[in-house]
Structure 1
Amino acid sequence: MKAAMMYGPNDIQVEMVERPSCPKDGLVLKIMAVGLCGSDIRNLTSDSRKGNYPFIYGHEIVGIVDEVGAAQSKYQIGDRLFLFPGTYCMECDDCISGHSENCTNVEKDLAGTGGFAQYVAISGRKIQLGGIYLIPEDVSFEAASLGEPLTSVYACLENIQVGYGDTLVIIGAGPIGCFMAQLAKLRGVQTVIMVDINEKRLEMSREFGVDHLVNSAEKDPIEAVNQLTGGLGADKVISANPSNTAQAQSIFMVKKGGIVVFFGGVPKGSLTEIDTNYIHYSNIWIKGHFGASYIQSKRAYELAIDKNFPSHKFITHTLPLDQINDGIELTRSGEAIKVVLLPQE
């Protein structure tokens, strides 16, 4: 089969490799579409494996069941499946409490990667624990692939109760920031302020309900947000980018008693300098966000495949797997909002 093999930072080579064998209690999925995620790009352009190469990344996976094991009876050849990469035990205290995203026994390697290829093997254990959803015949594979990146966004906005009348600041106008703006409007947010250093990305974000744009490369974003909110600050601020500076600035954009979310992961080992005295006296709540529970993943997937959800606005580029490096550059430059790769082309 064809696969995009990572041999090191910025060294991704599309080549022929052995097709995975079918687990006795599992299946082999023929990958029809796989989204190119910001975390994939970060992993592909850094020493993410610490020298343990080659490796196949890709986790926004949808496809068709191509082969089933003798001991697997839940799915049949030809079934169209969406694969949520999280695999939770549903037995630990976190899972039982409804926060499976914090699962103590999370099994990361069952089906959480390997999507930049034409086929991927799904184990019986993954099938047993769940996170696999059927794709209706009238839904495109490209649209269904948005279910994964939408999941964490959906969970974040639900967890901090973004809703009617809110003023929301989103720092980072990439794919995740655009998803956040669209969902925020669906949840009744009154005003969305988008902050970024890339003018092209900012302009593209208007398509998703953004009310005000702030180019932080040209003006002080803290001052701009305070002007737009009459000096009060926003109800909620989400730092959705890998920037320590953005995290430090975010607390000065939120109103007293407001909520700040650190959504984007910053470089490992880096530290963000924060004025904790200001946080203390302003009654600011800070929350870190990562992942989503099983129920949130299912709801986000159902939203992604809803006929009223504008998936076509997010997917700006579809490319064959051979052009994965082009997709990386399109995303990094800000020309693309969402790149979806088609391994069978």
Structure 2
Amino acid sequence: MKMKAALMYGPSDIRVEETDKPICPEDGLILKVMSVGLCGSDIRNLTTDSRKGNYPFIYGHEIVGFVDEIGEEEKKYKVGDRLFLFPGTYCMECDECISGHSENCSNTEVAKLAGTGGFAQYVSISGEKIRRGGIYEIPDDVSFDAASLGEPLTSVFACLENVKVEYPDTLVIIGAGPIGCFMAQLAKIRGAQKVIMIDLNDTRLEMAKGFGVDITINSSKEDPIEAVQKLTGGKGADKVISATPANATQTQSIHMVRKGGLAVFFGGVPKGSMTELDCNLIHYNNIWIKGHFGASYSQSKRAFQLAISSSFPTEKFITHILPLDKINEGIQLTRTGEAIKVVLHPFDN
């Protein structure tokens, strides 16, 4: 049987065409993908030689849908169940998992179970993935589109929890993309009193004001360090999160944070690149620097619960819903800043 999928044949060479539908594992299931979010990491992978010539490949990890088929040995789920697939998979046995940092699980075989392949009409879920966990049921009254945002919210939820964003913080977020906007909204829920957003794109900055941002700074028009220092009476912000894929914003972040404050490196930068840091400033101002990646199983579950609750305006972040055939248009909309969040529909629904 055939299905429609967005296959990557090389950098920026994504073709929506027919391919073989996956075969249902004896102890697993086939999920019919109803909504799949277009993530910044997907766009980075799709526009670079991420597979080093190993093509074609199907990306997409913000996956929700319903069970289309189950194997003879699968007993946990049934056909028709509505499921959210968290892409992280952890062994819960290695030193990292046991210490509470399952997001850094060192079991590479288990990590390979992480969900991808969502830019297609169907995905296969193995029995081992089901046993290891990270699959959550979606209530009937929650849309698939809203539920798909449970994945990008996960890392944001974990970050703000780990660095204890709370009352009465002044928080600076560098990067007004989907992640930055999630951060702003969640920071306000957690009690932050002032959220300052920095970006180069006026369109994105204007949209960010709808997600709890108090003040915006366009760093192409004014010095963002001077602007933050002025807005904080020369003290600096309590916490600064660099949520861009750029070394330069990491460098800037330590000049925006107060003495004893915290700079968070959230966005991944090009592999092998180095960030210049004023180490005397870090030393004498007692500045803490923390890297952030991923989320634990506990945090993924609670982030998903928040995404599908009335406490978080999840669907407000979705600016464009497109058929899978228009994935290239979705990439462009995101890269230009016209979109906050693009959700793709593999089926006409």
Please give the TM-score of this superposition, normalised by the length of structure 1. Answer: 0.99
Q: Distance in 2 between matches of 1:335 and 1:68?
A: 40
SS in 2 for 1:241: coil
Contact 1:111–1:122, Cα closer than 8 Å, also in 2: no
What is the Cα deviation at residue 311 of structure 1? 1.4
1:294 aligns with one of 284, 297, 310: 297
Q: Distance in 2 between matches of 1:305 and 1:130?
A: 19
1:108 aligns with one of 111, 131, 141: 111
2:89 aligns with one of 87, 90, 112: 87
1:245 aligns with one of 244, 248, 252: 248
Counterpart code for 1:27: L
| 1:325-340 correspondence to structure 2 within 5 Å | 325-340=328-343
2:179 aligns with one of 170, 176, 180: 176
User: Residue 149 of structure 1 aligns with which residue?
Assistant: 152
**Is structure 2 residue 333 aligned with structure 1 residue 312?**
no
Q: How well do the aligned residues superpose, as a CA RMSD in angstroms?
A: 0.7
2:207 aligns with one of 204, 216, 220: 204
User: Residue 63 of structure 2 aligns with which residue?
Assistant: 61
1:73 aligns with one of 66, 70, 75: 75
User: Residue 49 of structure 2 aligns with which residue?
Assistant: 47
* 1:71-128 alpha-carbon deviations (Å, 9 max, x no partner): 1100000000000000000111211222111111152332421000000000000000
Contact 1:85–1:131, Cα closer than 8 Å, also in 2: yes
**Is structure 2 residue 34 aligned with structure 1 residue 23?**
no
What is the Cα deviation at residue 6 of structure 1? 0.2
What is the Cα deviation at residue 46 of structure 1? 0.5
SS in 2 for 1:168: strand
Counterpart code for 1:290: F
Contact 1:256–1:284, Cα closer than 8 Å, also in 2: yes
* 1:204-234 alpha-carbon deviations (Å, 9 max, x no partner): 0000110110000000000000000000000
User: Residue 124 of structure 2 aligns with which residue?
Assistant: 121
* 1:286-324 alpha-carbon deviations (Å, 9 max, x no partner): 000000000000000000000232112100000000000
Q: Distance in 1 between matches of 2:32 and 2:321?
A: 18
| 1:209-224 correspondence to structure 2 within 5 Å | 209-224=212-227
What is the Cα deviation at residue 268 of structure 1? 1.2
Aligned residue pairs, count: 345
Counterpart code for 1:16: E
Q: Distance in 2 between matches of 1:240 and 1:50?
A: 26
SS in 2 for 1:17: strand
* Deviation beyond 3 Å, 4+ runs, structure 1: none
Q: Distance in 2 between matches of 1:273 and 1:93?
A: 32
Q: Distance in 2 between matches of 1:297 and 1:322?
A: 30
Sequence identity of aligned pairs in percent?
74
Please give the TM-score of this superposition, normalised by the length of structure 2. Answer: 0.98
Q: Distance in 1 between matches of 2:106 and 2:53?
A: 27
* 1:153-188 alpha-carbon deviations (Å, 9 max, x no partner): 000000000001000000000000000000000000
| 1:123-142 correspondence to structure 2 within 5 Å | 123-142=126-145
5+ long unaligned stretches in structure 1? none
Counterpart code for 1:196: D
Q: Distance in 2 between matches of 1:238 and 1:164?
A: 16
Contact 2:105–2:111, Cα closer than 8 Å, also in 1: no
Q: Distance in 1 between matches of 2:179 and 2:198?
A: 13
Which range moves more in the overlay, 102-111 or 126-135? 102-111
Which range moves more in the overlay, 269-278 or 253-262? 269-278
Counterpart code for 1:10: S
| 1:7-22 correspondence to structure 2 within 5 Å | 7-22=9-24
Counterpart code for 1:140: S
Contact 1:240–1:262, Cα closer than 8 Å, also in 2: yes
What is the Cα deviation at residue 34 of structure 1? 0.3
